[in-house]
Amino acid sequence: SLCFIEVIVHKDDTSKELLEWGSRVSAANSRPPNPQ
């Protein structure tokens, strides 16, 4: 499930929103979000 997250990071389009979304997805997957 890290594949699509990597693609999002590479997009660089509204990266902030995408990163926030990725953090929520990670949390849903029982994974600790990256502190920024």
pLDDT for 36: 60
Tell me the pLDDT tens digit for each residue of 1-36: 555 656 655 555 667 777 788 788 877 776 555 666
pLDDT for 3: 58
Residue pair 5/25 in contact (Cβ under 8 Å)? The answer is: yes
Residue pair 8/22 in contact (Cβ under 8 Å)? The answer is: yes
Distance (Å, whole) CA 17 – CA 20? 5
State the DSSP H helix or E strand holding residue 16, giving kind and residue range, or none if neither. Answer: helix 15-28
Distance (Å, whole) CA 6 – CA 9? 5
pLDDT for 16: 76
DSSP-derived letter for residue 14 is: S
